[in-house]
Structure 1
Amino acid sequence: MNLPFVLAACLRRCAFVATLVLLCIAPRAVLAQTCTFTMSNIAFGNVSTITGSPVDATGTLTANCSGIAAANVEFCLSIGIPSGGFSPRTMTGPGGATLSYDIFTDSAHTTIWGSVASSSFPERIVDIPVVGGIVSVSLTVYGRVYAGQTTVQPGSYSQAFATTDTLFTYLAYTGTPPTCTGSSTPSDRLTFNVSATVIADCNMSAAPLAFPAATSLVSQVTANTSLSVTCVSGTPYTVALNAGTTGGGTVASRFMLLSGGTATVNYELYKDAAFTQPWGDGTNGTTTDSGTGTGTAQSLTVFGRVPAQTMQPSGNYSDTVTATLTF
């Protein structure tokens, strides 16, 4: 019988067939094309609305791609909230108050970063060459809070961007660049937040108080001047006046000193034209002046009086009073 020979032949034939099957099903390695994005928050920090200057801040958008079997990747980067408009965008604060700002593609803050869905404010398009199947890019996102928002009150303001407000599409290509219009895949969507804190802030300026020349002090001499106070809208403030630099004076009764001499002339400062409310620091029978900021300049009048007194040597008399603004 030839059975052993037949079995051997069968075994060899079966092994050969099995080997062919294994070779046929072995997979071919394929690189997966992927891009991942990250987006930082944009935090403006403290914002004063009375400085007359915008406040700037930046964020960062990064993209890292691998497995790209093409020469270039074109990124179509949309930042939206089109329901609220692109310019200006608005952060919301206390009681529904808003603070206007925008997001720009450039450090000069001239080109607003928009969306593929907008014809007026387009998305940002960036074309990056592929090196070894990899693309990495980091883009600065420029934010600016606009100046001149003098009626905005202090508080925390923010705007949250949801995944529906961003669309970051990436298109690998070789040759002619593709168009971003109508492109939605492959893509990614992210969330980020824009925030600012409007601070209670004030500034003040003062004009000199000049009494008219007098040949006699047998009767009182009066004059007035003004302090200009500008505070962020809704900010309460208080203005106090000190005793001046001439020795012997108090907040209720100050002295001017003769230039180049030691003689003094008594004078007083008041909040009212009737000279009934001495303006000082709240001590020694005096009071302070106060108000609430409107975001624009407010004028406070200082009424000065030199009461009747013994005539001193002729010459120029002066004193320096410090006004302290508390808010």
Structure 2
Amino acid sequence: MRISACGLLLWMTMPPAIGDTGINDLQKSTPLTVNATVVKGCVLGSGNSDVTTFGTLNFGQISSLASNINIVSSAGAGSVLLRCNPGLSVTLALGVGNNVTGSISAGRKLKNTLTTETLLYQLYQDNNYSTLWGDGGNGGSAQVIAATGSTQEIKVYARLFSASTLPSSGTYNDTVLLTVTY
């Protein structure tokens, strides 16, 4: 009987389990952590996913090139539309195009789809048509913008250069690759 009494006394003097208040609680509160991590990034275009093209810069129908033809892009017709995290420094670089190798300092070329004939043109960052838009290593400089978090439209200024010889009829085109770095 003594042994049983000692066992009973030890059991009665043990503290309650850790985390248990010793009271039969009907309600307990414990914090729950909720978080999200936003990584830096950009969406090309004005929608929720990247576009595959910014449209076409079109010099229109011409019969001669007696003088330079200047045009300015617009949304859906050559302007770069993008939305990036606010505060990001975003670099926009333009390649040489499909019809030039090396430097663009002498101009880019539109190529006739039926012949090998080309027309000389250039892309600029400014409305003075003075800052060549390139990638920093191809004869033109990349453009750097500060992202705002809203959709931003970056204009492209284009010049088709005059030619003393009347060009052959046909459609002339080029494709220039835009690289966005942030």
TM-score by length of 2: 0.73
Equivalent residue in structure 2 for 1:199, among 39, 50, 63:
39
Deviation at 1:230, TM superposition (A): 1.3
What is the 5 A alignment of 1:246-325?
246-248=99-101, 250-252=103-105, 253-283=107-137, 285-309=139-163, 310-325=165-180
Counterpart in 2 of 1:25?
5
Equivalent residue in structure 2 for 1:211, among 53, 59, 74:
59
Q: Distance in 1 between matches of 2:132 and 2:81?
A: 19
List alignment gaps of at least 5 residues for structure 1: 1-20, 38-168, 172-179
List alignment gaps of at least 5 residues for structure 2: 46-53, 74-78
Counterpart in 1 of 2:92?
239
Q: Distance in 1 between matches of 2:38 and 2:70?
A: 41
Contact 1:212–1:223 under 8 Å retained in 2: no
- Which is greater in Rg? 1
Contact 2:81–2:154 under 8 Å retained in 1: yes
Contact 1:259–1:315 under 8 Å retained in 2: yes
What percentage of aligned pairs have identical amino acids? 29
Whichever structure has more strand as a proportion of its residues is 1
SS at the partner of 1:25?
helix
What is the 5 A alignment of 1:74-223?
180=26, 183=27, 194-205=34-45, 206-223=54-71
Contact 2:103–2:139 under 8 Å retained in 1: no
Contact 2:124–2:158 under 8 Å retained in 1: yes
Two-structure CA RMSD over aligned residues (Å): 3.2
Cα deviation code 1:176-234 (max 9, x no counterpart): xxxx5xx45xx8x57x7555443221232423211111000111122222111211011
Deviation at 1:266, TM superposition (A): 0.9
Contact 2:93–2:180 under 8 Å retained in 1: yes
Cα distance, 1:26–1:207 mapped onto 2, change above 3 Å: same
Contact 1:207–1:227 under 8 Å retained in 2: no
Contact 1:224–1:304 under 8 Å retained in 2: yes
Contact 1:231–1:292 under 8 Å retained in 2: no
Q: Distance in 2 between matches of 1:293 and 1:282?
A: 20
Deviation at 1:25, TM superposition (A): 2.6
Q: Distance in 1 between matches of 2:24 and 2:99?
A: 74
Contact 2:110–2:174 under 8 Å retained in 1: yes
Aligned residue pair count: 161
Counterpart in 2 of 1:229?
82
SS at the partner of 2:40?
coil
Counterpart in 1 of 2:48?
none
Cα deviation code 1:217-265 (max 9, x no counterpart): 1111222221112110111111111100114574331001111321111
Cα deviation code 1:141-185 (max 9, x no counterpart): xxxxxxxxxxxxxxxxxxxxxxxxxxxx975xxxxxxxx5xx45x
Q: Distance in 1 between matches of 2:37 and 2:4?
A: 66
Counterpart in 2 of 1:59?
none
Q: Distance in 2 between matches of 1:280 and 1:251?
A: 8
Q: Distance in 2 between matches of 1:207 and 1:221?
A: 19
